Amino acid sequence: MAPLKILVLTLNTAALPLVHPAVTERVAAQAEAIAAGGYDVVGLQEVWLKRDENVFRRKAGLAHAYAGSSGFPVSAGLMILSRWPFAQTEERVFSVLRPSWLKISNGEPLARKGVLRARVATPGGPLDVYASHLLSNYGEGTSYMGLRTAELFELAEFVLERSSTTPYVILADLNAGRGTRDFDLFMDLLGARDACRKGDAELCGDRRRGGERIDFVLLPPGAPHAVARSLRRPHSREDSAAALVRP
């Protein structure tokens, strides 16, 4: 039997009211673009409100959805959509210290950074899907690299623990680009491969943050896979990466 091909997408929806413009309209457009794109598995970040979560449930064209918890502080804003049912789901909120409340203006002290895992029952067998979002820097005056490195360590340990015998795909906004110290440490710990990179070529989405991509589709070491083509981002204002993979 030929390996199962799965079309995956990671998307930072940038759906924070009062900060990002026209959130209601853009979330609807994103959901409709996901439905039109024929994706099998999608990892979303920054779906902050229940109303927007429900839009993705109704309009994204994927039958199964799992969202992170809500409440105070602000939710993790994470969501996994899938064509196939979930055999298991779980959420891990990172245990490291939050940014100082003195930095409340950038909103990061409120967010519950963490990771969702959903074991998807694909026709080719189980696939662990991870959606995650890490701390971002805010100019030269506010760097969270130390805390983000701790989050990356916790994420790597979580993946290695849960998926030691199961193929996985990580769909994440790491807020760290290739070649940065925290990203390199994470890849060394996990041993994962970037599905959106072939040699020096970028195969997925557009680059952001001054030329570096911070959104990743990551696969286990040694897993057969293929990136078939670059895919148009479902909305031009957001960070995303998409790939056709064989887990």
pLDDT digits (tens, 9 = 90+) for 50-82: 899 999 999 999 999 999 876 545 567 899 999
Whether 147 shows a pLDDT value over 60: the answer reads yes
pLDDT digit string, tens, across residues 29-50: 999 999 999 999 999 998 988 8
Does 1 fall in a domain? Answer: no
The whole-number average pLDDT for the span 188-213 is 75
Does 77 fall in a domain? Answer: yes
The whole-number average pLDDT for the span 172-188 is 89
Cβ(135)–Cβ(144) below 8 Å: yes
How many independent structural domains does the chain possess? 1
CA distance 1 to 22: 46
Q: Look at residue 122 in the predicted model and tell me its pLDDT.
A: 95
Q: Look at residue 182 in the predicted model and tell me its pLDDT.
A: 86
Confidence band for 5, pLDDT divided at 50, 70 and 90: confident
The whole-number average pLDDT for the span 132-141 is 69
pLDDT digit string, tens, across residues 83-117: 999 999 999 988 866 554 444 444 455 567 889 99
Residues β-bridged to residue 133:
114, 173
User: What's the pTM?
Assistant: 0.86
Does 181 fall in a domain? Answer: yes
Does 64 fall in a domain? Answer: yes
Does 61 fall in a domain? Answer: yes
- Which CATH number belongs to the domain containing residue 76 in this structure? 3.60.10.10
Q: How high is the mean pLDDT of the chain? A: 80
Q: Look at residue 233 in the predicted model and tell me its pLDDT.
A: 46
Q: Look at residue 98 in the predicted model and tell me its pLDDT.
A: 59
Does 203 fall in a domain? Answer: yes
Domain interval for residue 66 = 6-245
